Structures are given as C-alpha cells and as structure tokens.
Chain A
Amino acid sequence: DAGITQSPRHKVTETGTPVTLRCHQTENHRYMYWYRQDPGHGLRLIHYSYGVKDTDKGEVSDGYSVSRSKTEDFLLTLESATSSQTSVYFCAISQGGNQPQHFGDGTRLSIL
C-alpha cells in the first residue's frame, strides 16, 4: 500500500462545528488531493495541492478549506459543518503529470 494515512477514520459531529481531517503521506509525492464520495455520485474533487502552500479548488470546494504546510501533510477543514457535508472523504497522492493517484482508506464523516 502507498504510505497514506487518513485521520480520523470515523467522526460524528454536530451542525455548525468546525472539523479538520488530516492526510499524511510517507511517499514524498508533490501532489495531494481531497475527494468526497457519495451514493449516486462518482468521486468528486474538493481541493488539491501541487506543493507546499500551493493549493487550488476542485469541483465541489464550497464550504471547505485546505492547508499544506509540509510536504507530507494535507489538511481539509470544514469551518462550519452542515448535514450536506456528511460523506466519505478520501485523500490521494500522485507524482504529478499523468501518473496515477493512490488513495487512502477514507474518513467517514457524519454531521448530525
């Protein structure tokens, strides 16, 4: 398995609270991505990073922010969680270009 660790693996929280998900890699890959996966939808890109402190928005970025202060860590923050953000969140890494992305095992987030 690619060295990708997501934490926490499961989280239940209440509407309006802030939530931060962490993705940690040991592969020294330049690119890191956050996706969400919902029934009836394919994986959808939230944000991605192409280097330390270099990030950009994906298809479904509203309500989310990210930070990358070190190569190995990529954080996803929900500033004020809403029930529509209940989902499974996956982190992925790649070497860039048209190289494949490798995924972590996800964080299941429930917002009540």
Chain B
Amino acid sequence: EDQVTQSPEALRLQEGESSSLNCSYTVSGLRGLFWYRQDPGKGPEFLFTLYSAGEEKEKERLKATLTKKESFLHITAPKPEDSATYLCAVQAGGSQGNLIFGKGTKLSVKP
C-alpha cells in the first residue's frame, strides 16, 4: 500500500534555529514527490517537486532533498513568516496525477 508519513507532527523553533522536516514514503514506482506549504484557512501552496533520488531543490530558506525512502525539507535560519503546516505528497507510477498526502508538520517559529 502506498503511504506517506511525516515527522514530527509539530515543531517549534526560535527564529534563526535551523532544522529539518522528514517525509518517509512507500510507493510503487515514484513519479514525483511534492512539498507544499499551507497557511490557516488557505489551500496548499506548491513549493517543490523532486523526481529522483539525489535531487535537491532550493527556495530562499528552504531546501528539499530526496532519497529512495524519504525526503527532507531543511529550513535554514527560519523567520516567523515561515510558520505554517508543511505537507508532503507522492505520486505513484501509473497514476493519473493522484497524490497521496502525509498528515503534515506544523511549524511554529518564534521571534
């Protein structure tokens, strides 16, 4: 069964304190792994797509990496505006774009 597990469920950081979020997955033939950010009352906002092990993508203070079993979202020197829920999703081979989502990591960054 295709599955995505995110950890931790919640993470509290001080401003400037770097950390990582984990997304472990089991999927039959990975076509893509997607990271999203979701603010309260809003829809998920697309951040990154990773397609193969070893791939990395960066955007401002965020860096996403991918191995054959998991992905990490590294947050360097976070700011309060980085506070949000971060969602990970995978697309299995043969699917018509259907995504399987994890439950998310709620990140709080305190000034």
A binds B: yes
Chain B contributes a number of interface residues (CB within 8 A of A) equal to: 25
- Chain A residues whose CB sits within 8 angstroms of the CB of B91 once the complex forms: 98
How does the 8 Å CB contact mask read for B58-95 relative to A, with 1 for contact and 0 for none? 00000000000000000000000000000101010000
- Whether B46 pairs with A31 at a CB distance below 8 angstroms is no
- Cβ < 8 Å to B, chain A residues 85-109: 90, 92, 94, 96-106
Question: Which of A41, A101, A104 meets B99, CB within 8 Å?
Answer: A101
Most buried by B among A44, A98, A102: A98
Chain A contributes a number of interface residues (CB within 8 A of B) equal to: 27
Tell me the minimal C-beta distance from B73 to chain A in angstroms: 15
A50 within 8 A of B: yes
- Whether B103 pairs with A40 at a CB distance below 8 angstroms is yes
- Chain A residues whose CB sits within 8 angstroms of the CB of B46 once the complex forms: 100-103
A33 within 8 A of B: yes
B54 within 8 A of A: no
A45 within 8 A of B: yes
A74 within 8 A of B: no
Most buried by B among A44, A56, A99, A100: A100
Chain B residue with minimal CB distance to A96?
B97
How does the 8 Å CB contact mask read for A17-48 relative to B, with 1 for contact and 0 for none? 00000000000000101000000111111001
- Whether A43 pairs with B101 at a CB distance below 8 angstroms is yes
A3 within 8 A of B: no
Indicate whether A105 sits within 8 Å of B97 (C-beta atoms), given known contacts A42-B87, A42-B102. Answer: no
Tell me the minimal C-beta distance from B33 to chain A in angstroms: 10
Binding site for B on A (CB under 8 A): 4, 31, 33, 40-45, 48, 50, 56, 58, 90, 92, 94, 96-106
Known: A100-B49, A102-B46. 4 other contacts (CB 8 A): A97-B97, A98-B32, A100-B34, A105-B41
A-B contact pairs, 10 of them (CB 8 A): A31-B96, A33-B97, A40-B103, A92-B43, A96-B97, A97-B97, A98-B31, A98-B91, A100-B46, A100-B49
